[in-house]
Amino acid sequence: MSSNFNLGYNSMTGSLPSQIGNMVNMSSYFYLRYNSFSGSLPSEIGSMVNMRSYFLLQSNAFSGSIPTEIGAAGFQRLIYLDTNQLTANLSYAIAGLKAHEAAGSEIRYVE
């Protein structure tokens, strides 16, 4: 099982492909922070059901709504979506997180 994916701080551009949903075995951390990714967040993020630690997408240029499917993912620790152009009712977007999983989580999103 792959556990780490770190492409942060690389001046990368483009959109996040829907194939992110194929990364179902990712379990520890997923960093794409501090790049120049744009476009919407794909709903397939919800397929990352084994992700337990860090999901950091802050400081990019993502836009649109936070997909409600993000609540189906296994995120339990940190979810950083700040410093993008995302819009959503965050409580609705993460409603699928189980209470025991979200209790110790730090979720950062600023409208």
pLDDT digits (tens, 9 = 90+) for 56-72: 999 999 998 888 888 77
| Percentage, residues of the chain above pLDDT 90 | 34
Most confident of the ranges 53-57, 61-65, 92-96, 107-111: 61-65
pTM of the model: 0.80
Q: List 51's β-bridge partners, or say none.
A: none
DSSP string, 16-61: PPGGGGG-TT--SEEE--SSEEEEPPPGGGGG-TT--SEEE--SSE
